[in-house]
Structure 1
């Protein structure tokens, strides 16, 4: 066992992380993990939140280094095989490009490789992962024949040792293919350790795999003819070896470029022959078979938090079907609902319909962005949606915005704000850039105002709004009821579950908090209720805001009636048996204000039936900020807080009335008039609106 767990120093590569950052094209290194230092979380939550925000900003502003590619994978694989001769026991190494973390208490990430065994499968992800994780990769030399059960013991020994050293932090197991089986096996044997499993196309479905068909063939091929197995191995690494060639022909690429592509592939063939020679490939396939059987007989014991990444174009494994099977087979966690108790899998699935087997080697896959969107990143036993939050990078922000950009194009949002002297301007100049700030407003039907609002704040004022969102965005629903992946962009952009504690943490961190007192009751209102406020009678947020001297900015927004007509509301759907069953089935999940009275207590969610209209325009109006600095003692009195609360509500209603009245004077309210103006004046020109 000592031989298995030893570390190795690859030839010619420095192991001292105190040295300057090396070229990204250099191979991976091992560090002395036994002497790594980590700090505990601060006990003062306000200090912790402020520190987290500062470090997150550093993460957001730091320039991205040169990105690695599949070409780098093959280069480093060749160098790695030459340096260790393909021999020796399995061991851990830490890539050099993973040596710059922004958190002192970053969790440990153990990468468990797929069929290649090299441990380089995350090479395209190293730079970003290294900022938020302590990354260790498992390297299994080409000639190594360690059985699957011994690999379990190796990983288990590391997991238990690191858990003893840092019992308060989770350990991430990122397993790909066979590595996914290895992660599940370790989790099944260690149910009391806080593990987070990221499974990429786990090989638990090997019995249904096309790989079964080549096992007999490989067994009878003489070693001298092992080159016959290379196409199979190359397909494992990169998919169809001629796929890029055929796509190049379809796109009209120059013949010279195609020849260069084929030449590169021919070079890669020789590297693949070194990575997976016939005997190694045969050993790995047999191991995959035994690993799948081992895990499937013990999956009932897995209690870890799990995220499955399933590819839709993997010719080797039926991943989409298998992900659902695993989710159903896993033990259920108890979820308390309003009317009942449900038992749901502690597992989420993200599907990538266009991806192949080795998903992490594809350019469009960003594991850090996936973890942000799924809220799977945490640095302690429990998720802290404030201090654990990582703002999106510029590239991530663009990718998140792309699917929603049509909303801004169709609605031509106009935003007004109020300066300190009371002047109304067409911009967000009146919004303070220093927090804490609480923006309190009206929630349009289905929250359609959110995307233009969040995007404009970030692009115009460099302010990231942290929305207090309904728990339904974070609570796993029944799969046939709601696919929670549709909310990934909300979580990536900073949404947190609405609660008093999260509100407190956001204010303590100096955030800009987006708050809708009307909640789901406004966002899922009925016919004839547009632009009506359904707020609770109690001043739920005023005294908390005053405690931190926050500025409260009331705002109104109109335009939902310009883009659609509500034709099937809650009352209508409750008369249709099928729709009524769906509403009642999910009525208890994430319920809020169960002790409240009146309309605001009716927080049952549903999807309204909307008949689209030829798009009009969205209008936003932010009133003058109400500064609560110095009012902490005064607003401790309930009557004083209620008075300020009513003033805020009245101001929101005034903002809505102002917009409804003045939009009638906007000559560019319709999409047609705005399109014509842009065609004449230029698409980058700001389209005018009514005079203030």
Structure 2
């Protein structure tokens, strides 16, 4: 009977893997191909008896079109890592090799890029075990396994990975190659990229060991000889335990299953099991060797960082007791010109094993997933999972409670009804409306459309949201992650064309940032350009155009300082130039108020919450009008002005009708919900 490890892994020697057939070993067998034979031949010979061959590429699934992808059940906690690693840590005399979890290849998107995981000092290669299934849907996943007794030096490991990625790049020249490295693996990844600047890499680095010279680990080797085996690993383990990482990675296996007292007993048992297992992964002589390797890796990579230009995402744990990862991430971001940082303030060193961390969501939120040389915000977009949607709802539940949105729509006969019954169920469609102050209307609207109509609104957003320099100006680098997660695309005619060609539901604000960051006294005023920008594009695809208005921003916030006030603050002009640089400026050819698209952070005063009101007008059909509207610009302009007047009419209707809503303010709503339950719908004005 096969053991757990052999049932879930495929093995390849560490080499140019695309020229070979992958194979799985039985529990009694070991991969015996030597490194010398591999390097000399460049290809692998046919598997020996007892080795079962498998197909290189798994079956693919069609492009994702559903709102939610299918549910996957991932391994949970440290116990799974230990269980699936037991066979791998047995000494077999073999060289470093590539392994691929079988659960990574069940259903994969077409043209999925290769992803190579490079482990930390443990060398097992199963550090992503909690993420295998989800990664396997969007990547061709392979993990480097470094046997316990292997003594390949750092540069040797770099050469192994280098040979593999060069071969992969030869086979898939138009595909990016993802290198995911933690600790030592992050150093290997950076070294490979520095030596191969002509290959299109995407790096994801977790708590990189490039800061080893500032780490507490550098002092271990001096007194490690005095610590008896197997207690030597407790020194390293103790450092990380201080951060609470052990608790977080263990609690996943007992959460919601055991009573509290038994739960902590199980956590303690898992911690001892992990400590015992560490002594097998890192016997004393191996641990000493790895510490020396970390020192050489740190020196090697830091001398070459200046040549790394690959797209890089640095993941930094705030409670990493092995390395100063937070400070190191900031340093790397300053050095690497195409890098971004994500901070996890409550996480420890083993970030990938923590139950609260989801690497796929992080990749999606930071817009780091692509299947070709250039990011395609439409075809490369990955649908939300149910977990991600639920998390999004939880993050903005406070707004739903405070604003208690009222949704109204218009039927084909012109009747206004409560709810979204008047919204067409089939795309393509363009929702064109008024942008409230700071875009307050976005989250409640997107959530209701997903929850009630299974309609995913894809917003056409300001380029500031996608710009690296803009992200670095924000206090929190994840400020716009939710918009990217929800499928926002940079504003352009190309983005609109691609979305409509996919029959998407597009959310478009012709007033842009000029409306969302309006001046004092400009509430509910439209700042639309004169050109009928989107009408002919809608007609080309026969898209329905749904004008809509919103009201309620004046019941939520008071604008104290607008752009005209802020620009008078001494020295603010320096920040203004950084915010509104050439890379993010739009409508530069427009005159008047429409051209004043300067971004800024207004001074706002929260109010006792009122209520948000949405009215979606009667859908305007363009099907069959492509030739008519493309040839007759005056007719297209008339339709454009009609849409604008419909948006203004929706706003006026809501502003008048809300005066008759007995639950416009939060106190009556809370009293109503307290007496009738918080899950029911709060009434509003009569239609």
Measured after TM superposition, the shift of residue 484 of structure 1 is: 4.3
Match of 1:517 among 472, 491, 510: 510
Say whether residues 1:323 and 2:329 are aligned partners. yes
Aligned counterparts of 1:242 and 1:501: Cα–Cα separation in 2: 45
Aligned equivalent of 2:229: 226
User: Aligned residues, how many?
Assistant: 644
Which blocks of at least 5 consecutive residues in structure 1 are unaligned?
A: 16-28, 40-50, 331-344
Say whether residues 1:358 and 2:350 are aligned partners. yes
Question: Does the C-alpha gap of structure 1 residues 438 and 479 become closer, same or farther in structure 2, counting only changes over 3 Å?
Answer: closer
Contact 1:30 1:93 in 2 (8 A): no
Aligned equivalent of 1:26: none
Measured after TM superposition, the shift of residue 230 of structure 1 is: 2.4
Aligned equivalent of 1:641: 636
Aligned counterparts of 1:685 and 1:241: Cα–Cα separation in 2: 40
Measured after TM superposition, the shift of residue 228 of structure 1 is: 2.1
Match of 1:134 among 132, 136, 140: 140
Contact 1:534 1:600 in 2 (8 A): yes
Match of 1:608 among 585, 588, 602: 602
Measured after TM superposition, the shift of residue 424 of structure 1 is: 0.8
Aligned equivalent of 1:268: 274
Aligned equivalent of 1:94: 100
Contact 1:233 1:276 in 2 (8 A): no
Measured after TM superposition, the shift of residue 315 of structure 1 is: 0.5
Aligned equivalent of 1:179: 185
Q: Which moved more, 1:260-269 or 1:533-542?
A: 260-269
CA RMSD of aligned residues (A): 2.6
Aligned counterparts of 1:499 and 1:214: Cα–Cα separation in 2: 55
Aligned counterparts of 1:33 and 1:154: Cα–Cα separation in 2: 23
Q: Which moved more, 1:606-615 or 1:129-138?
A: 606-615
Question: Does the C-alpha gap of structure 1 residues 242 and 499 become closer, same or farther in structure 2, counting only changes over 3 Å?
Answer: closer
Say whether residues 1:392 and 2:368 are aligned partners. no
Measured after TM superposition, the shift of residue 33 of structure 1 is: 9.3
Aligned counterparts of 1:31 and 1:461: Cα–Cα separation in 2: 48
Say whether residues 1:567 and 2:560 are aligned partners. yes
Measured after TM superposition, the shift of residue 244 of structure 1 is: 3.6
Aligned counterparts of 2:265 and 2:219: Cα–Cα separation in 1: 32
String of CA shifts for 1:232-275, please: whole Å, max 9, x gaps. 24347766689649x99xx9975444333323333333211111
Say whether residues 1:62 and 2:70 are aligned partners. yes
Match of 1:12 among 1, 16, 27: 27
Aligned counterparts of 1:666 and 1:101: Cα–Cα separation in 2: 51
Measured after TM superposition, the shift of residue 671 of structure 1 is: 0.2
String of CA shifts for 1:374-423, please: whole Å, max 9, x gaps. 01000000000000001110101111232221111101100100111211
| TM-score between both structures, scaled by the size of structure 2 | 0.89
Aligned equivalent of 2:535: 542
Contact 2:549 2:616 in 1 (8 A): yes
Say whether residues 1:691 and 2:686 are aligned partners. yes
Aligned equivalent of 2:622: 628
Aligned equivalent of 2:294: 288
Match of 2:79 among 50, 61, 71: 71
Aligned equivalent of 1:22: none
Aligned counterparts of 2:309 and 2:354: Cα–Cα separation in 1: 30
Aligned equivalent of 1:348: 340
Aligned equivalent of 1:593: 587
Contact 1:477 1:484 in 2 (8 A): no
Aligned equivalent of 2:38: none
Aligned counterparts of 2:347 and 2:187: Cα–Cα separation in 1: 20
Contact 1:8 1:30 in 2 (8 A): yes
Matches within 5 A, 1:143-542: 143-221=149-227, 225-235=228-238, 244=247, 254-330=260-336, 345-477=337-469, 481-482=473-474, 483-542=476-535
Secondary structure, in 3 states, of the residue corresponding to 1:467? strand
Aligned equivalent of 1:341: none
Secondary structure, in 3 states, of the residue corresponding to 1:486? coil
